Amino acid sequence: MQKRAILAITIATVLFTTLIGFLSVLQNVSAESDTIPNWIKNTAKWWSENQVTDGDFINAMEFLITEGIIQLPVTVNSPDVDTITIGLIPVEKAGELTSKEEAFEKFLEAKLNGVDVIISVTTNYETIIEGMRFGHIDAAFMDAGPGWITHSRTGAEVVLAEVVQGKVNYQATVWAKSDNESIQSLEDTIGKKVAFTSITGSSGFVRPMGTLVASGYITIQGDDITALIEALADSFEAYTFAGGYKAALELLLNDNVDVAFGSDIAPQQYLEPSDQAKLRKVTSIGIVPSHVFMVSADMSDSTKTALVDAMIQLNREENNEILRNLYGAEALLPTTTEMHIGDFGNFIEALTGLDQLILDKYNKNR
């Protein structure tokens, strides 16, 4: 089963790399053109909007390849630098280079002939951001929130998204008790007692609160974290930061709150079936993106392409253990900043003063 999953991801990676440029081509082809069938155009559009399955999209791309409409690139790109420094905050032993990072470093050096790869292990994202700003760090693994902040501050770009449990995102969700029918939408949570996971939680705060602000249901009077806290107090009967998915759901089960915010699979992960049955999914708010791999704004196209080509070889069965050991991801898929974290970044921007708290959350020196 694992071999088939890795093979499917590898095929999808090749097709997805083609898609990044292909979607823009579709938009510029007239409806009367017979070069690309209309059903292909519709399938690509619907897939980008999550209205058709990945299998449907892959079938459409395979048709275009078979017909020769899409020509897969065969050119080999070479980096134009002698050294590439990659920043990361390790899962364990922050500040030290472990055997897991060393295996990753040696793998890339073998794929990028003649390039010295340096893994810069740090304890906080601010070091990585400043390193990218001043040219000391060329690329980095990052969570989605810090990734957006890095893009905003330095111009660095997302080039790869991590695949976890077969997906590159998950759904932020509103949960209520099954016997409470008074809440039918996200906006119905205003004026209620609510439980967020934490003030930096992606699905448990950033996505729901950001959506309410961006949609005009909540107004923040100011441009700092104090204004954000005041908006919370004005908008809800009561609010609490529970400390995690499980704690927020337990507050809901015990009738301490009317609503809990979290992920779409949080009840299955943390609650017994009997307690799951007591809850009702009010609505899915929208996606929260997975972790990303970013490159600096100054990296040349040839080096960027060579690095991405090397990284996606971690999806292959013989190399996949290196990636799984590094961060627990199953695979890496090519993407762009706007495609993967653009919408989520807008919610961070809407929540005044939150960017620094997000960076502080990952600071292992604190």
**Phi and psi of 155, rounded to 5°?**
85, 5
Q: Which helix (H) or strand (E) holds 107?
A: helix 99-111
* Residues forming a β-bridge with 84: 117
Among 168, 138, 147, which Cα is nearest to 16's? 168
Please, what is the angle between helix 337-350 and helix 207-214, to 10°?
70
More confident residue, 75 or 99: 99
Q: List CB contacts of 41: < 8 A, sequence separation 6 or more.
A: 26, 29
> Which domains are delineated in the chain?
2-66 (no CATH), 83-167+290-361 (3.40.190.10), 169-289 (3.40.190.10)
Do residues 114 and 147 lie in contact, with contact meaning Cβ atoms separated by under 8 Å? Answer: no
Give pLDDT tens digits for 40-97: 666 666 666 667 676 676 677 667 666 666 655 555 568 889 999 999 887 654 555 6
* Residue 11 pLDDT > 70: no
Q: Among residues 310, 312, 317, 174, which one has the least CA distance to residue 249?
A: 174
Continuous H helices in 281-353: 301-312, 320-327, 337-350
Whether the Cβ atoms of residue 59 and residue 67 lie closer than 8 Å to each other: no
Name which of 311, 305, 321 is nearest 103 in CA terms.
321
Greater confidence (344 vs 5) lies with: 344
3-class secondary structure for 124-169? CHHHHHHHHHCCCCCEEEECHHHHHHHHHHHCCEEEEEEEECCECE
Decide if pLDDT at 302 tops 60. Answer: yes
Dihedral sign, Cα of residue 290, residue 99, residue 362, residue 109? negative
- Residue-level pLDDT at 356: 84
CA–CA separation, 177 and 258 (whole Å): 7
**What's the mean pLDDT when you consider all of the chain?**
84
Q: Contact at 8 Å (CB) between 121 and 95? A: yes
Across residues 174-200, what is the average pLDDT? 95
For the record, the structure tokens of 31 come out as: 């409806």
**Poorest-confidence range of 47-56, 118-127, 232-241, 352-361?**
47-56
Mean pLDDT check: name the lowest of 23-27, 235-239, 272-276, 362-366. 23-27
Residue 119 identity: I
Q: What are the backbone dihedrals phi and psi of residue 364, each rounded to the nearest 5 degrees, phi first?
A: -80, 0
Is the pLDDT at 38 greater than 60, yes or no? yes
Task: Label residue 23 by pLDDT band (50, 70, 90).
Answer: very low
Q: What is the pLDDT of residue 18?
A: 46
